[in-house]
Amino acid sequence: MKILVINGPNLNMLGVREPEIYGSLTYDDLVKFIEETAGSLGIDVDIFQSNSEGEIIDKIQGVDAIDGILINAGGYTHTSVAIRDALLTISLPVVEVHLSNIFSREDFRRHSFISDIAVGVITGFGEEGYRMGLIALKKIVGKK
């Protein structure tokens, strides 16, 4: 089983950005956490980060031998119809994850263009959300 993990804009700045919201975890820490968690779950992961909406779409379109997608689209969550459309072009289960609780921040973060086409959404649990997303995808893929 192989999962594509997509991290959108500014997630590479983790540990730098707004520590009172995201804590001191760095992006390298997050990558290591995802890899180790996936390993312990028996899941292969392809972890991808980009600040570019177009590159994220390219990556989604290029999936090969992938069983599901775990996506934290960052700021594009709230503005990108194009990423939504890319996720619709491939017939794979999608899980949306956010490190912080997007519902307790600015109003414009309450709307996601991904949520209604995802299997489910996990928000507010920091890196732990990625573990939860991988567990969920494992179950979902396993059921098919």
Using CB under 8 A, list all residues that contact its own copies: 8-10, 12-13, 16-18, 50-55, 57-58, 61, 74-86, 88-90, 101, 103-104, 108-113, 115-125, 128-129, 131-132, 135-136, 139-140
**Looking at 22, 27, 76, 130, which residue is catalytic?**
22
**Are the C-beta atoms of 34 and 130 separated by less than 8 Å?**
yes
Residue 96 beta carbon to its own copies: minimum distance, rounded to whole angstroms: 9
Nearer Cβ to its own copies, position 40 or 61? 61
Residue 35 beta carbon to its own copies: minimum distance, rounded to whole angstroms: 19
Residue 3 beta carbon to its own copies: minimum distance, rounded to whole angstroms: 15
**Looking at 27, 76, 98, 130, which residue is catalytic?**
98
Q: Is 111 an annotated catalytic residue?
A: no
Q: Is 98 an annotated catalytic residue?
A: yes
Which three-class secondary structure string do you get for the chain? CEEEEEECCCHHHCCCCCHHHHCCCCHHHHHHHHHHHHHHHCCEEEEEECCCHHHHHHHHHCCCCCCEEEEECHHHHHCCHHHHHHHHHCCCCEEEEECCCHHHCCHHHHCCCCHHHCCEEEECCCCHHHHHHHHHHHHHHHHC
Nearer Cβ to its own copies, position 48 or 113? 113
Catalytic annotation, residues:
22, 98
